[in-house]
Amino acid sequence: MKNTLSRRERVKLANRKAILSAAEEVFAQKGFYAATTDEIAERAEFSKGALYTYFRSKEEIFLSLMREKVGSLEKKIKESIKVTLNPIEGIENLIKAHLEFFEENKEFFQIMASERGRFEMGIKNRLRRELMRRFQSYLKEVEGVMKAAVDNKELKAIDPNHLAIALIGMIHSFTAQWILTGGESSLMELSPVITMLFFGGAKG
Amino acid sequence: MKNTLSRRERVKLANRKAILSAAEEVFAQKGFYAATTDEIAERAEFSKGALYTYFRSKEEIFLSLMREKVGSLEKKIKESIKVTLNPIEGIENLIKAHLEFFEENKEFFQIMASERGRFEMGIKNRLRRELMRRFQSYLKEVEGVMKAAVDNKELKAIDPNHLAIALIGMIHSFTAQWILTGGESSLMELSPVITMLFFGGAKG
DNA sequence: TCTAAAACTGACCAATTGGTCAAACATAAC
DNA sequence: GTTATGTTTGACCAATTGGTCAGTTTTAGA
């Protein structure tokens, strides 16, 4: 069973994905504002007019893309935590899951790093509100594991919010550096260093 | 003694600073591409034409601003390290210096966070090359303290580059969060948490 | 006060770009 | 083959914006 969609609907969906994928590259390379709908259309091998039958505006392309990516990041993180009841192991898995996700979604990471500070702009926009909601939800997820580990006395009695900020900061920093230096070697290889530094600190 | 500059020259210099300061706000709020020279001119209380007697292009405004800011960040970091010969204390001072600088230069931090991934664009540009050189130099400075501390056996035998990435990531992450939540309370207050987490890790 | 140079203004220009739409094309059912 | 419906095209439009420059104002020294 393919599924319940007609041929037409399946083609539409595949085209939509192709457009979002092209947009991801362009947004990552140029940033939201400097990216042009012409270039997105060209890379997706459609005319500009066709783009606008799939999405109502450039902003809708951007927000749809980000919403889907943030959603799947959150899903991946949730799953990585759920496989164990041990909070320490949960955090280890969470680090690995992040690195794996960013390695597979380099462009998304670049977009997020560059546009995160402007998510709040135009708060009235329905899609923007939903994007922010999902992003918050992802952060709360990380904070939740930290709280569990603190309650368990497995981590120091530090504000779980601070613990989450610290770990995410380290992960982002390593990922950004990995991208700047070409993104060739595997990002996952850094998982042990990050784990060790986060849990044990740098002092010898 | 005021200095050796004529009244005219002093006014010119002050105006230049005012333009850069206006540009800093606009670039921070809108990003490089979406910032308009009209808005920069308006905020600096000049006509657009006058802007172009101070700078040759929008890009030159941007790069001049960033070059000066990265330069003074590097200077501050260097000084914070130099006051002590003890590497651990040096790193503590470095954390404080970072937080102090970002607290006083919120806009610069926002610009850096959002445009860092595109510094490399147009590498042929002289100003761009110089900006990158200064930025590398700043990173090397941080790496240098880490290496000293590792050689001293005060930190674990970890690649100093990794140690620098981890610490800077934590600092950036806390700063970004502080800005997102309004930037009201003092960022410096977070210095003990960061210091403790970096040296001692999260494990209880 | 007079003058020449420096500084400033803002209308203007050319290029870019998000978005539209009438016409052309493709598809599928009969 | 015909027709109706859905899809695509790309020329086009209006708005925006980086940058210019002829003309005006300000400055400072004589």
Cβ pairs bridging A and B (under 8 Å): 149
User: pLDDT for A145-162, tens place per residue?
Assistant: 999 999 999 999 999 999
- Boundary (domain end) residue, out of B37, B55, B73: B55
Domain of B31, CATH number, reads: 1.10.10.60
- Confidence (pLDDT) at B123: 61
One domain for residues B143 and B49: no
One domain for residues A90 and A188: yes
**Nearest nucleotide, CA B55 to C1':** D19
- Confidence (pLDDT) at B183: 83
- Confidence (pLDDT) at A132: 87
Domain of B98, CATH number, reads: 1.10.357.10
Q: Are B60 and B47 in contact (CB under 8 A)?
A: no
Q: Number of structural domains, chain A?
A: 2
**Could you give the CA distance from residue B24 to residue B12 in angstroms, rounded to a whole number?**
18
Q: Do A177 and B166 touch (CB under 8 A)?
A: no
Q: Which amino acid is at B50?
A: A
- Chain centre to alpha carbon of residue A12: 25
One domain for residues B71 and B22: no
Q: What is the mean pLDDT of the segment spanning A21-50?
A: 97
One domain for residues A159 and A103: yes
Q: What is the mean pLDDT of the segment spanning B100-111?
A: 98
Cβ contact A7 with chain D strand, < 7 A: no
One domain for residues A77 and A27: no
What is the extent of the structural domain holding A47?
1-55
3-class secondary-structure state, position A202: coil
Place of tokens 């329905």: A126
- C-alpha distances (whole Å) from B82 to each of A128, B164, B188 are 46, 17, 20
ipTM score over 0.95, yes or no: no
- Chain centre to alpha carbon of residue B183: 17
Phi then psi dihedrals of residue A194, to 5 deg:
-65, -45
One domain for residues B144 and B183: yes
User: pLDDT for B130-154, tens place per residue?
Assistant: 888 998 999 999 999 999 999 999 9
Q: What is the mean pLDDT of the segment spanning B40-44?
A: 97
How far is the alpha carbon of A27 from chain B, nearest alpha carbon, in Å? 12
